[in-house]
Copies of this chain bind each other. A is one copy, B any other.
Amino acid sequence: MPVNYATPEPAALFPVAGVRLGTAAAGIRKPNRQDLTLIELAPGSQVAGVFTQNRFCAAPVTLCREHLAQDTGIRALVINTGIANACTGEAGLLAARQTCTAVAGLLGCTAAQVLPFSTGVILEHLPSERLIAGLPAARAALAEDHWHAAAHAIMTTDTVAKAASRRIAGPRSGIPGMQSPSAGFPLTVTGIAKGAGMIRPNMATMLGFIACDVGLAPDLLQSLVREAADASFNRITVDGDTSTNDSFVLIATGASGCAIDSESSPYWPALRAAVIEVAQELAQAIVRDGEGATKFITIKVGAGGTADECRRVAYAIAHSPLVKTAFFASDPNLGRILAAIGCAGIGDLDVGRLRVWLGSAGEEVLVAERGGRAASYVEDDGARIMQAAEITVRVDLGRGAAEAVVWTCDLSYDYVKINADYRS
């Protein structure tokens, strides 16, 4: 059961002009399961992505980088679940190439115009023949309103499909430098993502796809995909593991006729905010659906010397199994939070200046100050807040003005169960 998250209804996911999605059951690892997704993009679409930092990056990630670098215009994305096609050597690269070639043949483009994505078990070979045999059915299912089906088809250990959508006010006619389809026509940003475990900064076992119908200059697209990732998927952690397959792709079809060429475009601020909002909603949905999660924890670290040290403190808290099990138990064993802060690697941290608050639903309680328990703190307050499903830990390092936020979840019996049973 995810923490306060339900997949939006299909009607709440606005189609993005220029994007069609189709799914199929290819029997890649298990029969009778929608495990193949094809996303077709209109000619002229711009695509940018960020990918895993894991040295064992999966074959599809290698091909994504290669095809994006060739810059011949991406026309399709193909996503399979079941097998990650990671740590599969040359054979894995060949299987991914064959997949792209088959998609290209079906859609009438080149293999370099196809981006492949895989998620599932590592170290096993992708049965590309089954994947390829499933492609015609996925193509036959292509439709602009299949975001909901695609969000379901990319799930692995996820218990809910993750999707988010925004509409913002679009151009009125007569704005210079802009082809305006109609006065006040809305612009759309819609995205889907998958991921529930192996989630950590610098991407995770997560796949994220966000599309908008705006045209975006390549440099804006590239900087926006990075900014959105840094503000969302790179700020979440479930278990501290970084996947071989993490990919986040931002698509700008331009099919609305609205083109943003620079940051001075009147539509840039709203478009940028909508993309980041959708990315954050998807990223938070991954944590809410974290394997075994029963609590959604926001960790805010402020008054740091640098943003990097704030992030280190936030992750030290977020990665501590002792802190995470205490949240699961609703146990205000707050010393574990202080102990985690103490070993975040800030050598000159003055624990006498540090303050820690625990909060939920608008209430906030000072827990620690002057190197120990706050004089005003009573355990009943901590116990009450720890019962909540959404909890905020706020840390003031007393060193400067930098800050960082990380979202995580608790560590429960079910995390162990899910990961001990995953391949069974």
Contacts and interface: CB of A to CB of B under 8 A. Distances in A.
A119 interface: no
Contacts of A342: 54-57, 242, 244
Interface of A is mostly: loop
Contacts of A200: 343
A381 to B, nearest CB: 14
A321 B240 contact: yes
A341 interface: yes
Interface in A315-367: 319-322, 325-326, 328-329, 331, 333-336, 338-343, 346-347, 349, 351
A245 B122 CA distance: 39
Contacts of A423: 331, 333
Interface in A219-246: 239-244
A88 interface: yes
Given A322-B197, A339-B54, A373-B88, A416 B412 contact: yes
What is the size category of the interface that chain A forms with chain B?
35 or more
A55 B89 contact: no
A291 to B, nearest CB: 9
A87 B371 contact: yes
Contact of A373 (B53, B87, B346): B87
Nearest to A123: B335
A193 B423 CA distance: 38
A4 interface: no
A168 B103 CA distance: 72
B346 A55 contact: yes
A56 B197 contact: no
B371 A335 contact: no
A240 B202 CA distance: 20
A54 B419 contact: no
Given A87-B368, A416-B416, A420-B326, A123 B56 contact: no
A417 interface: yes
Of the candidates A87, A200, A349, the one having the most CB atoms from chain B within 10 angstroms of its own CB is A87
A61 B162 CA distance: 48
Residue from A89, A200, A341 with most neighbouring chain B CB atoms (10 Å):
A89
Contact of A335 (B86, B320, B331): B86
Contacts of A349: 55
Contacts of A86: 335, 338-339
Contact of A55 (B244, B335, B341, B373): B341
A260 interface: no
A325 B420 contact: yes
Contacts of A370: 89-90
A39 interface: no
A242 B321 CA distance: 11
B53 A343 contact: yes
Contact of A88 (B87, B88, B343, B372): B372
A401 interface: no
23 contacts: A55-B346, A55-B351, A56-B351, A56-B371, A57-B342, A86-B338, A88-B372, A89-B372, A91-B372, A121-B335, A122-B335, A124-B373, A239-B321, A241-B322, A243-B339, A321-B415, A321-B419, A328-B420, A329-B419, A329-B420, A331-B420, A331-B423, A331-B424
Interface of A: 53-57, 84, 86-92, 121-124, 197-198, 200, 202, 239-244, 319-322, 325-326, 328-329, 331, 333-336, 338-343, 346-347, 349, 351, 368, 370-373, 411-413, 415-417, 419-424
Given A87-B339, A123-B338, A325-B415, 9 more contacts: A54-B343, A55-B346, A86-B339, A87-B373, A88-B372, A91-B372, A122-B335, A123-B334, A326-B419
What are the 8 A-B residue pairs with the smallest beta carbon separation, nearest first?
A122-B335, A89-B372, A56-B342, A123-B335, A329-B420, A325-B419, A54-B342, A242-B343
